[in-house]
Homo-oligomer: A and B are copies of this chain.
Amino acid sequence: MRLSHPTLKKLLILAVALWPVMVSAAHPNLVITANDIEVMRSAIKDEGRFYDAYKQRQHTIDAVIATDPAVPVPKDGGGGYTHEQHKKNYQAMYTAAIMYQLNQQQKYADFVRNMLLDYAELYPTLDVHPKRKENSQNPGKLFWQSLNEAMWLVYTIQAYDLIHDALDAEQRQKIEQQLLRPVAIFLSEGQPSTFNKVHNHGTWATAGVGMTGYVLDEPEWVEKALYGLDKSGKGGFIRQLDELFSPQGYYTEGPYYQRFALLPFVTFARAVDHNEPGRELFEHRDSVLLKAIDTTIQLSYNGLFYPINDAIKSKGIDTIELVHGVAAAYAQTNDPAYLDIAKRQNRIVLTGDGVRVSNAIEKGLVTPYPFKSVAFGDGRDGDQGALVIMREKQDAEQALLFKAASQGLGHGHFDKLTWQFYDKGQEIVSDYGAARFLNVEAKFGGRYLPENESYAKQTVSHNTVVIDQTSHFNGDVDTGNKQWPTLTLFEKNQFGTVSRGTIDTAYPDVTLTRTLALVNLPGLSRTIAVDVFFVDAAKKHQIDLPLHYQGQFISADFTYEPNTASLAPLGKRAGYQHLWLTASATPEPGIAKVTWLNENGRFYTLSNLIDEQETLLFAQTGANDPQFNLRNEKSLIRRRENSQQHTFVSVLEPHGEYNPGDEYTINADSDLTTLDYSVDGALTLVQVGIAGHDYLIAIATESLSFPHSFRYHSHDFELQSRFAVYPLNNHQE
């Protein structure tokens, strides 16, 4: 049948008349779908984790609603009143909107509606924020930076979607025309450099704008969010997925920023999945988004993220971004190991995914999450160095982080080949993290402190070699971004894990090569860390190897000169100006031990193989810190003056227990008695005598054909892979 024009026209009129109804039927349909709502409503009928989360959130939001929160004219920077109020507001709208869908009480919809209408009145009156940075490319209007504005939109558009059907046409019109459209346009066309940027700021912007496109039926916005303003794919969400993660799902800025970046990725990907499942964002690039969620979990120890680069140390797996991430990962994969993480997070999100996680935990489906030793290749193709994590749990949960990764952009630190060590729940060999008091106005407006540049980013604040008191890449981030170490070894087996990295661009004429191993000692049920750091230069330099430790100094087995009557800074620049020199020593050649006691009640001894030219310096942060911005932490610096080649060999040995509560102390002294180091062709050989046992640790620094035979002290050994530990006593019997 062929329709006459008038009929067609009538049908079109009918269709247009029906259009709002059809759209209406599709709300909500971002992270939470109409189907989810049914599941969620059903879930709160019975007691359980989801019900508890619901009641707790309801309690919170009721308290917020009771205060009748303001929508103030933007005035303050981060941490200030208006900044925090607008942050609270978008969270309140989001929570109230979910409440409305869950229990259908009108007051929640009214709360969101009224606040949206207030914003719709306010927004058209605003210019860019008075507290924006000078010459900023990305000011906000509600906030000093558009990053917060994008976050506001990510939450607010979901709130709007959830109460959409509770609004009348006039209200929708006003909210969309005066608020949501202007915000989306401001964050896209209004700030092309941010919107198109392959960076987490860009991810928040594209996620917010893209979701607004679905809700306001602007498919063009979705296209722009996915492929950049010019839809070329040079910018946009897909490009971000392609560029920002390595093939294993590692994000070059490190886990602190990775978890932050995750939320808009996961949120928008779920929304796209629900609206246009054919786009298969979760499957994109061999499921890189799921890998990114998983990698974020792997990059944690005892619930906290490894604090590499500009990281604030208290962030961990219970961060709300990763709670959403884990819920999404479980929904996508049904992998019960994610339930283990969800249990540890002890937070359930009020979404359909939250119900699925909650139900699965209650059904007892949890299996232990497998934390692994793994080398995460860095960079888009995973070939720009690697972040290496080694894990053991012989007598307590241990981890060794080896940062043979690339610079990590503007938040990266100049810490090529640094390491960190964790044991029994605590940092032992530590990284300062970021120098920042987030949102504390009195501390430099809550932004990164000046000491973040002058100390926390500098090489000496890390546990890696500094040449001539100058940071890697001379502290230049652009240079740093172009260079990275090469990972030449990563091997794990029953003996533990070993890795080796090298870089010849951190300094013009110097090659740095470090081998780190987390070694199980057969027959002792103990694990030690072995560090061999080879410095090879074209001319002579001052070579420093600092180690920052957490704990109270207990003893050194050599004579040192403490500075008891006055303190002076260790140097003038590159972070050295922030270190008070508290003692110095020139130990006898041989093993020089330093022991400290961590708050976990265990002792740690660093045994250093020292030659006659090495000095040891003890330092403490705090010099040239006129506003007391730095924490006072301790370090030990091995120094060799005027050297062209040098190998620093050391062993870190956890031992004993200090238990003043139950009044006992055991094994407070190191058990290490011998430490020898030699090189035999491609083999690095470290002999360790400890607690009456002798071990030979053999590491092949190049690929060999295995089995590979070698002799050591007149005995024959056979290497089956690139890493082995031989009990020498047994061998000699």
Contacts and interface: CB of A to CB of B under 8 A. Distances in A.
A580 interface: yes
A440 B565 contact: no
A729 interface: no
In which size bucket is the chain A interface? 35 or more
A79 B312 CA distance: 38
Nearest to A88: B664
Interface string A564-603: 1111110000000000101100000000000101000000
A437 B658 contact: yes
Interface string A82-122: 00100100000000000000000000000000000000000
Interface in A413-444: 437-443
A320 interface: yes
B658 A626 contact: no
Contact of A446 (B441, B662, B665): B665
A707 interface: no
**What's the dominant secondary structure at chain A's contact region?**
loop
B661 A315 contact: yes
A340 B562 CA distance: 49
Nearest to A661: B314
A552 B625 CA distance: 13
Contacts of A606: none
A666 interface: yes
Contacts of A658: 437-438, 440
Interface in A297-321: 312, 314-316, 318-320
Contacts of A680: none
Given A565-B624, A567-B580, A663 B439 contact: yes
A628 B619 CA distance: 12
B442 A669 contact: yes
Contacts of A624: 564-565
A43 interface: no
A11 B151 CA distance: 98
Most B CB atoms within 10 A — which of A569, A597, A658, A669? Answer: A658
B660 A315 contact: yes
Interface string A615-627: 0001010111111
A568 B565 contact: yes
A708 to B, nearest CB: 40
B554 A565 contact: no
Contacts of A663: 438-439
A662 B320 contact: yes
A438 B660 contact: yes
A441 B567 contact: no
A14 to B, nearest CB: 49
A631 interface: yes
B564 A623 contact: yes
Contacts of A613: none
A612 to B, nearest CB: 25
A3 to B, nearest CB: 58
A79 B666 CA distance: 7
Contact of A669 (B441, B580, B620): B441
Given A567-B567, A669-B441, A314 B562 contact: no
Nearest to A316: B661
A319 B437 contact: no
A627 B562 contact: yes
A235 to B, nearest CB: 27
Contacts of A84: 664-666
Contact of A562 (B320, B442, B555, B628): B628
Contacts of A618: 628
A177 interface: no
A597 to B, nearest CB: 7
B625 A562 contact: yes
A657 B433 CA distance: 21
Contacts of A443: 554-555
A123 interface: no
Contacts of A662: 319-320
Contacts of A437: 552, 554, 597, 658, 665
A632 interface: yes
A553 interface: yes
A566 B567 contact: yes
A532 interface: no
A728 interface: no
A312 B439 contact: no
Interface string A371-415: 000000000000000000000000000000000000000000000
A127 to B, nearest CB: 26
A665 B79 contact: yes
B668 A440 contact: yes
A568 B566 CA distance: 5
29 contacts: A79-B665, A84-B665, A314-B660, A314-B661, A319-B662, A437-B554, A437-B658, A437-B665, A438-B660, A438-B663, A439-B664, A439-B668, A440-B554, A440-B597, A441-B668, A441-B669, A442-B555, A442-B668, A443-B554, A553-B628, A555-B627, A562-B628, A564-B623, A564-B626, A565-B569, A566-B566, A566-B567, A567-B580, A620-B632
> Shortest 7 CB-CB distances between A and B: which pairs?
A439-B665, A442-B555, A553-B628, A567-B567, A562-B626, A438-B660, A564-B624
